[in-house]
Structure 1
Amino acid sequence: MAANKLKISPPLLNSACPWATTLEDIKALYDSPYTGAVTIRTSLLEGFTHDDSIHQYIFFTPGKTIAGDAPKGEASKPSSSNSSSEPVSTLNTLGYSPLTLSEYLGIINEIVGQRHLGTDTPTKKPFILSVTGTPDEIAMAYALVANAAEMDEDLRLAMEVNLSCPNIASAPPPAYDKKQLDEYLEAISDSKSTYRGRMATPESVPKVGVKLPPYTYTGQFEMAVGSLREAKSSEPGEGSVIDFITCTNTLGNSLLLNSSFDPVLSNESGTGLGGLAGAALHPLALGNVATFRKLLDRDPVTRGIMIIGVGGVEDKDGAERMRKVGADAVACASALGRYGVGVFERITKGA
């Protein structure tokens, strides 16, 4: 089972985020010698209607007053001259990518096609396609990913099911509810079983993970691990149908007020509540990784599940902390937005 894990070497990558949206974003991440995989921004089968007036983000320093006219989006990024100042966090009210899953598969084919021509990075890094939707839509998404992997044996594709975005007013994170989580895991199990017999080797069957929200008390962790344990593969000698978990996503219901005590960001509901990420989330993210690793290791069904640790990592020490508490690989988002793709060299070398 361990030999059939998702291979991420070096064990460093980005998590699904705004800075992994375009062809240029994804190619830069793929070309970096310091990333072992590339995660694509969360997509839907039919795309997402992005609206700058309600889907926003801001970089901020915790505990500091935010000016009433503080810039949002890329304009909120600290200047390079302040790059060594105290850590920066982010708050976002973003939804998903405006690009569809099919469009992302086309982008991946274009990038890998350049490699075939010998004009680009000659490596075979995994692409992790982050997706969301209903359980039925997730099954269809897996079919698209598996078909793409079947058509080109050089593609290393995996799928991450995002069950944790806190910013969709009509769809709270399914991973907080056992019934919903089980429905998604059943859809994943059925999809993997369908394609297992068609793929050339067990290793070529696209791996599947789930992106989880921050959990804050014991019952939530036990619920999630119980569902992962119950979603056991029907294949002899295998454990859970889930190959990896990504934890943790942003912490929802977070609010920033400006100097006039008005919400800094807009959102769908008009409250300005969004998802907290970056340095402010790091202790909670470490706790989630540590707790999941301990609980997953208690049962042979879940012991082989990898953890991609994410939340507030922006330097070598942060990555080492994540690895120390049980992450098999470490991802970052806010730091990617702050420093660009060069952040992975910074993390690797401790610069």
Structure 2
Amino acid sequence: MAEDTRNYRLKISPPLLNSASPWATTIEQIKELYECEHTGAVTIRTSLLEGFAEDPSIHQYIYHNNFSVPAGSLVNYDPKPTLHAPKNNHQHNHEDTSSSQTSTLNTLGYSPITLSEYLGHINEIVGQRHLGTNIDVPKKPFILSVTGTPDEIAMAYALIANAAEMDEDLRLAMEVNLSCPNIAGKPPPAYDAGELREYLGALGDSKATYRGRMAGPESEVRVGVKLPPYTYSGQFEMVAKELAHAKSSEPGEGSVVDFITCTNTLGSSLILDADLKPALNSESGTGIGGLAGAALHPLALGNVATFRRLLDQQPETRDILVIGVGGVEDKGGVERMRSVGAGAVGCASALGRFGVGVFAKMAS
């Protein structure tokens, strides 16, 4: 691959990170990801201003082999009420995470932990640096994945920017999740040009409001969008066009968007159990959810390659970082993502299978 000469505004070094997922829910999980020497950033599970009403009876996930699931493979939630998270897969040895179960299906929603609570967790983790307990850990970015209405996204940016302004040790970014396929009656906004334009406008206004208040370029809160999988050229072209038109108020900076994460899970997917019944429950009652892991990898590679090509065609979007996500679990997957234009590479399903040790495999 030719040398990448783009001037990415969000710096991730080393270029490995987790994507927003159940395995980045609790402070313990986030701290472990932050202290991993192989991660260049940490993405926190998608949150809302007021939290999400998580219900283990309908918000579920499984590992599978792309066709079916073995008996007893449902991965349920830890009963500890204070964690609000799936079991800590850093230690578990469920049969559903065997070498043949490389894909996931989920009907999950968002984190029950609020954005403000996550900012508190980050302050606690980074604050240990001041106490001298982890001073050797580099200052890597926390990417706070958020969702909501455009107005709520603007409020979320204000919360994150205020936190960054108050502590120069924080490296914060905001990823707007416009791509969750599992919320009944709320299709992913990133499939609609008008809705995407509205969100990008809110991001532009928010960045303009807080520009100049940060201590320096490193402390400025960078913003990105998490995109769903696209399957035909018109969809890719629509997104690239909207990104180019959403220009920053800062001269020479191009788009208001600093990075895109692609791709999120593929919705409208269904896995059946041995009795030919839906393997999961869901809000809609159909068991249909989002597909991820190895089964998504070819589509994710295609999305990354297509977006990198389109973004490079316009000066406003050339320096947008593409974070490639989907089915990566080893060095080979990282190399494939990087070869098609990913400036950084993330994983979720593999993190659930192997724990933070997966990043050593990815970096080997």
> Common fold, TM-score beyond 0.5?
yes
Quick check: 1:70–1:76 contact (8 Å CA) kept in 2? Answer: no
1:96 aligns with 2:114: no
Structure 1: how far apart are the matches of 2:299 and 2:54? 29
Tell me the residue number matched to 2:83. Answer: none
Tell me the residue number matched to 1:52. Answer: 56
Quick check: 2:305–2:340 contact (8 Å CA) kept in 1? Answer: yes
Structure 1: how far apart are the matches of 2:351 and 2:111? 17
Q: State the SS of the aligned residue for 1:98.
A: coil
Structure 2: how far apart are the matches of 1:95 and 1:72? 15
Quick check: 1:68–1:260 contact (8 Å CA) kept in 2? Answer: no
Structure 1 unmatched ranges of 5 or more: none
Letter of the structure 1 residue corresponding to residue 32 of structure 2: A
**TM-score, with length taken from structure 1:** 0.95
Structure 2: how far apart are the matches of 1:245 and 1:257? 32
- The percent identity for this pair of structures is 71
1:314 aligns with 2:333: no
Quick check: 1:59–1:76 contact (8 Å CA) kept in 2? Answer: no
Quick check: 1:221–1:292 contact (8 Å CA) kept in 2? Answer: yes
Q: 1:82 to 1:22 in 2, by over 3 A?
A: closer
Quick check: 2:23–2:88 contact (8 Å CA) kept in 1? Answer: no
Partner deviation per Cα, 1:45-69 (whole Å, 9 max, x = no partner)? 0000100000000011113x43464
CA shift, 1:81, in A, is 8.8
Letter of the structure 2 residue corresponding to residue 173 of structure 1: P
Structure 2: how far apart are the matches of 1:103 and 1:44? 10
Structure 1: how far apart are the matches of 2:123 and 2:88? 33
The worse-fitting range, judged by mean Cα deviation, of 83-92 and 70-79 is 70-79
Tell me the residue number matched to 2:74. Answer: 71
Quick check: 1:58–1:92 contact (8 Å CA) kept in 2? Answer: yes
Letter of the structure 1 residue corresponding to residue 114 of structure 2: T
Tell me the residue number matched to 2:170. Answer: 155
Among 266, 273, 294, the alignment partner of 1:251 is: 266
Q: 1:20 to 1:76 in 2, by over 3 A?
A: closer
Letter of the structure 2 residue corresponding to residue 206 of structure 1: V
1:169 aligns with 2:169: no
Pairwise CA RMSD of aligned residues?
1.9
Letter of the structure 2 residue corresponding to residue 117 of structure 1: L
Structure 1: how far apart are the matches of 2:217 and 2:99? 48
Quick check: 2:70–2:96 contact (8 Å CA) kept in 1? Answer: no
Tell me the residue number matched to 1:106. Answer: 120
Q: 1:334 to 1:4 in 2, by over 3 A?
A: closer
Question: What is the correspondence of 1:95-134 to structure 2 with a 5 Å cutoff?
Answer: 95-120=109-134, 121-134=136-149
Tell me the residue number matched to 1:212. Answer: 227
Tell me the residue number matched to 1:235. Answer: 250
Q: 1:139 to 1:328 in 2, by over 3 A?
A: same
Q: State the SS of the aligned residue for 2:282.
A: coil
CA shift, 1:346, in A, is 1.3
CA shift, 1:71, in A, is 2.8
Structure 2 unmatched ranges of 5 or more: 77-85
1:181 aligns with 2:185: no
CA shift, 1:200, in A, is 2.7
Tell me the residue number matched to 2:294. Answer: 279
The worse-fitting range, judged by mean Cα deviation, of 291-300 and 4-13 is 4-13
**TM-score, with length taken from structure 2:** 0.92
Q: State the SS of the aligned residue for 1:249.
A: coil
The worse-fitting range, judged by mean Cα deviation, of 290-299 and 255-264 is 255-264
Tell me the residue number matched to 2:17. Answer: 13
CA shift, 1:234, in A, is 2.0
Tell me the residue number matched to 2:339. Answer: 324
Partner deviation per Cα, 1:226-270 (whole Å, 9 max, x = no partner)? 100110112211110000000000000000111111100000010
Q: 1:82 to 1:148 in 2, by over 3 A?
A: closer
Tell me the residue number matched to 1:197. Answer: 212
Tell me the residue number matched to 1:24. Answer: 28
User: 4+ residue stretches of structure 1 with deviation over 4 A?
Assistant: 1-4, 74-78, 80-84
Quick check: 2:142–2:171 contact (8 Å CA) kept in 1? Answer: yes
Structure 2: how far apart are the matches of 1:260 and 1:80? 21
Letter of the structure 1 residue corresponding to residue 69 of structure 2: I
CA shift, 1:198, in A, is 1.9
Q: 1:125 to 1:76 in 2, by over 3 A?
A: closer
1:140 aligns with 2:162: no
